Chains A and B, each alone.
Chain A
Amino acid sequence: MQSSFNKAGVKEDVDISVDLGGLKLKNPVVVASGTFGYGLEYEDFLDISAIGAVIVKGTTLEPRSGNPSPRIAETPAGMLNAIGLENPGVDVFLKEYLPRLRDKGVTVIVNIAGNTVEEYARMAAKIEGNEGVAAIELNISCPNVKKGGLQFGTHPDTVKEVVEAVKKETSLPVLPKLSPNVTDVVEIAKAAQAGGADALSMINTLLGMAIDIKKKKPVLANIFGGLSGPAIKPVALRMIYQVYKEVDLPILGGGGIMSSEDAVEFILAGASAVSIGTGNFVNPRLALEVVEGIRNYLQEENIRSVRELTGMAVIK
């Protein structure tokens, strides 16, 4: 392996900044919605302003108390969750949390989830003009709420409609988060593009379940939950690869990333940036360790910019 040394024998710095359809990130590693709270919960463990961006917990128009317990279950190399979008609502987020994150210099992406197309649009309108928001991620793929969420993300027509409605209300980059619980993810990605999406976030969790054989009942009170963690990595990689080939939009890719090697795989498959989710629970410093790992990889591979790496493994 060749390192990129300049004439003075000093390792040359590599460029790890990225731009996802107008969303400019100082590094290509973000933390996924629902796995990092509002970022403040993890302040004791790392400098949250050094992360590419923090995608905050899914936010709704009205406060939600979430699903009954048990909400989580550990599964082989992964976990199921059915939190049910517990959050204090968009108004409280903008008033209580956003100013604190802004003061700390955190790059914030707001994840929004609505019951109706109008709710998505209203939330985007409320967020518009608030300083300190870098982008909006559209949660059109939450498997754990009865209304909204997944039902929006599994039909191309509604995906297009939601993205269009939000784009009308905001000047921020909009990233719909795609569900893996579909037959053809490329069709959904194309619908998001037709609606005006600036980039794509993928993937959300896979719908799954676990059963307690002693109680002879589902483990989760919600019966079904979203599967995440290393168990879903091959599925996520495959979907990102497919979409990268067919759709000309930057991809924020994730699904079970536990190391910088995993992250590089996602970038090689077509992701412009990566999201760390369940891995945060195992190692709260993972996001920044992945940033360093990507930097080292680029130096070792003699690649000047992480942007050159995107899609390099895709066979045309």
Chain B
Amino acid sequence: MPTLEKGLVILHNRLARDFYEIELVAPLIASSCKPGQFVHVKVGGTMDPLLRRPLSIYDVDKKLGSITLLYKVVGRGTELLTRVGVKENIDIMGPLGRGFSLADNQHVLLVGGGVGIAPLVYLARAAKEKGCQVTVLYGAEKRGELVAFERLRKLEVDLMVATRDGSAGHKGLVADLLHPKFLPPKIDFIYTCGPEPMMALVKKYAEENGIPGEVSLEEHMACGVGACLGCARKLKPDDEYYVKVCKDGPVFRMDEMVL
């Protein structure tokens, strides 16, 4: 059940230029969250910037009652967040939104780009626990920005990486790895999160191969709970109504949308 919790910061690391991970003890959120859900984070104690920042849950330690968030500095809000120290508290709302669906013993493919890898790491952990065969395709600009690499490696998933500059793995787009010669013969479900052009290529591959899948979208939000109707989006151009990314998503079925 969503709640408001003071998260005690127990770890806050800079992983690369502009990439940070922050671990918070927040037992109520940690015990009830699911992969693909997000928390709404109050950054700083001032009124400017005013609104909370939605960040997807990157990893969870249910035993410790902690959640970890991965974020990239993109503006003043995330910049303020970098200044929070260990032992300080952060005001967080969550878990919010509709997460990924996940069945037992499936062959699943996860495709993440940039900071979009965040919800897929938690998903990979949950999928392993459910006895799934997990393959992860992970793309970044360069080697140093493959910030989730170690965490994924420890989860013992089948991991392939791509970098734009070729400093690690395949040189080019992560979507280039969507090819039978790189992938396991059987895939039951595909999940993706990252830049929308990347997700569009993943969705195209899934459709061409008749594989169902889900995407996780990003949108500016105010309330995070479906009240303000600010994060509206039409899933298909001809849809009459807008979905709310915060409440109806952020995870949507590939077949219900156009990217």
Q: Measuring CB to CB, which residues of chain A are less than 8 angstroms from any residue of chain B?
A: 34-37, 41-42, 44-45, 57, 65-67, 69-74, 76-79, 81, 83, 86, 229-230, 258, 278, 280-285
Contacts and interface: CB of A to CB of B under 8 A. Distances in A.
17 contacts: A35-B223, A36-B227, A41-B226, A66-B229, A69-B219, A69-B234, A71-B229, A72-B220, A72-B221, A74-B220, A79-B50, A83-B228, A86-B242, A278-B222, A281-B51, A281-B223, A284-B4
B93 interface: yes
B167 interface: no
Contact of A71 (B51, B230, B240): B230
Pick the most buried of B223, B224, B227: most chain A CB atoms within 10 A of its CB.
B227
B49 interface: yes
B50 A282 contact: yes
B223 A41 contact: yes
Given A45-B3, A284-B4, A74 B51 contact: yes
B233 A69 contact: yes
Given A71-B230, A83-B228, A83-B230, A281 B222 contact: yes
Contacts of A278: 50, 222
A145 B52 CA distance: 27
A24 to B, nearest CB: 25
Given A79-B50, A81-B230, 6 more contacts: A45-B4, A69-B234, A72-B220, A278-B222, A280-B223, A283-B91
A45 B226 CA distance: 13
B222 A79 contact: yes
A34 B228 contact: yes
Contacts of B219: 69
**Which 10 A-B pairs give the minimum distances between C-beta atoms?**
A37-B227, A72-B230, A41-B227, A77-B48, A44-B2, A281-B222, A281-B223, A230-B47, A41-B225, A77-B47
- Contact residues of B: prevailing secondary structure: loop
A73 B220 CA distance: 8
Contacts of A81: 222, 228, 230
A32 to B, nearest CB: 11
A79 B52 CA distance: 12
A53 to B, nearest CB: 16
B250 to A, nearest CB: 14
A44 B47 contact: no
Contacts of A69: 219, 231-234, 242
B164 interface: no
Nearest to B233: A69
A35 B228 contact: yes
A79 B223 CA distance: 12
B34 to A, nearest CB: 15
Given A77-B47, A86-B232, A282-B50, A72 B222 contact: yes
A76 B48 contact: yes
Contacts of B228: 34-35, 37, 72, 81, 83, 281
A133 to B, nearest CB: 20
Nearest to B222: A281
